[in-house]
A and B are shown apart, each in its own frame.
Chain A
Amino acid sequence: MSILKVNAVAKTYTTRFSKNKVEALKNVTFEVEKGEYVAVMGESGSGKTTLLNILAALDKPTAGKVILDGIDLSSVKESEIAQFRRENLGFVFQEFNLLDTFSLRDNIFLPLVLAGKKHADMEKALEPIAKKLGIEELLSKFPYEVSGGQKQRAAVARAVITNPKLILADEPTGALDSRATDELLGLFSEVNKLGQTIVMVTHSVKAASHAGRVLFIKDGEVFHQLYRGDNTNRQMYSLISDTLTMLSTGGER
């Protein structure tokens, strides 16, 4: 069963000073099955961030449709979009986007508080997640007191605590050192094994090599995709590298 359908999505920007139109996305179509772990790759300017913003309902496509679990995102009212996002999506950002006014615990609670949950329920929901992510000891600390990897784990906790239909990760390893990157990717795989659907935008081959499927975007279109099949991470890594080389040298499909 597919949870996310992206159907012929296009996004065109008009620049401020000229009438030239810039096509960020031309025609993107793909589906994500429930429980899938998809990485979206592409070079800078390939349109992957635009795609992510559209999936996150932060931006609207100029053409095409995005359907999340049967709901057309364009049919959600502007005033309800934030609530929709909060209830259906979880986010992990490159810059963590933790609030420095909150302790890690409160940062993780934020979406639950906004949803009006009771405090006791929040604690109950947090306990297994914190244990799994190994941040039980850090919950009372503030973001500026912990390392980047620890911050990102807290951000993952915040994303999963609402049991979202879809987790959107934007370059989640971009600000991490290699050890923290490994840890985080391990966590993503584990979370995914528990049935969580993840869509991750990245240009890190290593990050993408953990995914079940890798989509390559070039010039605003899905150019190619790779399925993991029975490949190991290492095998995935070299497959992705090859594909990228082919893409940048302009080889044919």
Chain B
Amino acid sequence: MKTAVHTRLAIDGIKKNSRLYVPYILGGAVMSGISYIMHYLSSDRILDSVKKGVATLGAFLPLAAWIIAIFSVIFLFYANSFIIKRRSRELGLYNVLGMDKKNIAKVMAIESVAVAVMSIGAGLIFGVAFSKLAEAALFKALGEKVGFAVYIHLPAVAKTAAVFGGVYLLLLINSLVRVAFSKPASLIMNDKAGEKEPKGNAVLAVIGLALLIGAYIISLSIKSPLNAMMLFFVAVIMVIVATYLLFIAGSVTLCRLLKKNKNYYYNPKHFVSVSSMSYRMKRNGAGLASICILSTMVLVTVTATGSLFTGLEETVNEAFPYQMCADAQFESYSDLTDEFRKDFLEQADFLECKDSVYYDCVAASGYIANGEFNDDPSSLLIFDSSIADNIIELEMFSLSDYNRITGKNETLAEGECLVWSDKEAEKFDTFTVRGEKPLNVKKHLDSFFATTGNVLSSGVPRVYIVVSDLEKYAYDLVQIDNGLYDFFLFFRSGYDTVFADKDSFDAGHELGNRIFRNIEMNNMENGVLSTDVAFRQEFRDECTELYTGIFFMGITLSVVFLIAAVLIIYYKQITEGYEDASRFSIMRKVGMTRKEIRKSINSQVLTVFFAPLAVAGMHMAFAMPLVSKLLKLMYLENTKLLVLTAVVIFALFAVFYAIVYKITSHSYYSIVNPKPKM
């Protein structure tokens, strides 16, 4: 046969099955478009023009591009296998009519090339068109100015075309292998047996339920972000498995119950839908579970990265209550003299600050149990969740500093202390360090002054202890040097409104650095281990960079998950449409009106289709405690913001889901109930 014939057969095949091919091509186009954008944004052209975030963006964006490629392979394979299954009848017919497999392979190859060219071509056009928008968004997020020139980045084009060309080549090879091993008879055959109710359905349901409850308990009970990190993926896998089991077992049970209820079942509205549901109950359950899991992924990813991004300013202010913080660390309390304090503060006066704070502080990390603080680092190496849950950052202050800064007039007797702690940390009545004489807790404080060293604590609960005389109490703790050198003595200070604008920031930044560098140089012999100056603006930049990178990646992944979910919803609808079409045509012959068919379809789709959304919402709600712990690792402390973001995202997603449902159920409807041709 001539190539022209093959080409015509291939093009006709695509045209005739546009219902199958259009979403497939669109899905591929969007994936390759996003991939182009990621390559474009991580190209030197962009990274050279941004001052900040080069490292993070350079790492995150190509990673995102690769993740997209991997997901594209999975989902395009899914869609492609679906298309092959649908088209096997037609190909089988060609085969029976005397077209040998070599020729069929040729037709398929031409078809694949056409699909690949259309997908990648449309993807690149889409990518170039939207790359400017993405660039603008990125620059805006990083606080930089955007140019207007639209630019086609050839290396990004080449990379995208190469990667997706490879993906489509894999798809073609897969299709060819399938055709090569198929028999013409089996290509035309079509299995009509319904699914049997699986044995041990109750067992599946119980296992699923147990896994789900287990995962939810993990999420609800975890206290420390470190544990959250370790158990997050365990919980995710548990939820995925549980979702599949429960949806399958649930759909089987639901079908059985509905069928048992004769008055419900033998009702024109439910009769047809319940029976079709039970005909494919397992497949239906699995499909719904996939939709549910992808929806959950979208919801959690967008919520987490979105709230990080929107909570940026608050996070920065929380971590840096002052525009500039300066610390000096000492070997021993005997080195922290009044002379040094005076000198330090005098130097800082050069900065013309309006508001400042300074205090002594002894800090340590360790875990606390019944008010007993243990800083033995070897015990922390054991991954015992009861220890990990109780890891805290301990900071100790002197009563005189506390009263001076807060303006209060607390008093403490010998052997007494004041305690302030994060709500996650345990409450205790006596406080002990390394077997010393316990301190009685005189009062649990509701609030504390803004301390300056919070950056380090990243999600670990903090416990502040105020003692009557810090020097006396902690002298030995700081001193001890037997390998357990864990109590650090700091002189800390914070300064505010030093820099009115960006120019003065740059000047102040330099001045601050110089001043404190001097202090460090001058006092090296006097027991100062190091000085450290940190600026809020620098931290903000750092966070912006990190969060922007994470946000872009999160959004990208969400889009990919979303496309996957939409594709699955769509293909699920049309597979069922093709299956049901012959049934509905029989029913029309037997005397079912168009209106009744429409009603029956609505009943079917509504009963099952919004279940994944509801369950995804539930998963999301239960994931929030865990997510909030993870976000603490990235400094986000504001749980309210997280919840608010979650609610908004869920509402938006629900609207989107409803629209997708509407559109796809329309295509289902037009397959099963075509308009009469008269």
Q: Write the residues of chain A forming the contact surface with B, with a CB cutoff of 8 angstroms.
A: 56, 58, 60, 79-80, 82-83, 85-87, 89, 91, 93, 97-102, 106, 109-111, 113-114, 116-119, 122, 142, 144, 158
Contacts and interface: CB of A to CB of B under 8 A. Distances in A.
B595 interface: yes
7 contacts: A86-B591, A102-B275, A110-B271, A114-B591, A114-B592, A119-B263, A142-B194
B15 interface: no
B655 interface: no
Given A102-B275, A106-B271, 15 more contacts: A79-B593, A79-B594, A79-B595, A80-B593, A82-B591, A87-B591, A89-B591, A93-B589, A98-B586, A101-B275, A113-B268, A114-B590, A116-B268, A144-B192, A144-B194
Contacts of B1: none
A113 B279 contact: no
A60 B678 CA distance: 10
Interface in B266-291: 266-268, 271-272, 275-276, 278-279
A24 to B, nearest CB: 16
B267 A83 contact: no
- How many B residues touch the partner, as a band? 20 to 34
Interface in B610-645: none
A101 B279 contact: yes
A123 to B, nearest CB: 9
B583 interface: yes
A89 B275 CA distance: 24
B674 to A, nearest CB: 14
A118 B263 CA distance: 8
Nearest to B276: A101
B194 A82 contact: no
A100 B275 CA distance: 9
Given A99-B587, A113-B267, A82 B193 contact: no
B194 A101 contact: yes
Query: What DSSP secondary structure best describes chain B's contact surface?
Result: helix
Nearest to B597: A82
A111 B194 contact: no
A111 B586 CA distance: 11
Contacts of B16: none
Contact of A101 (B268, B583, B589, B596): B583
A86 B266 contact: no
B194 A86 contact: no
B189 to A, nearest CB: 13
B354 interface: no
B51 interface: no
Given A100-B194, A142-B194, A82 B266 contact: no
Contacts of A116: 267-268
A133 B97 CA distance: 42
A119 B591 contact: no
Contacts of B595: 79
B591 A85 contact: yes
Nearest to A123: B262
B607 to A, nearest CB: 15
Interface in B390-423: none
B588 A82 contact: yes
A111 B263 contact: no
B188 to A, nearest CB: 16
Given A101-B194, A114-B268, A144-B193, A83 B279 contact: no
A80 B267 CA distance: 19
B590 A91 contact: yes
Interface in B31-78: none
A117 B272 CA distance: 15
A82 B194 CA distance: 28
Contacts of A98: 586
Contacts of A110: 271, 587, 590
B522 to A, nearest CB: 88
Contacts of A58: 589
Most chain A beta carbons < 10 A, residue from B276, B588, B590, B594: B590
Contacts of A80: 593
A9 B315 CA distance: 84
Nearest to A103: B275
B589 A91 contact: yes
Contact of B586 (A99, A109, A142): A99
Contacts of A60: 678
Nearest to B271: A113
A117 B262 CA distance: 12
Most buried by B among A56, A79, A99, A106: A99
A56 B589 CA distance: 9
B275 A106 contact: yes
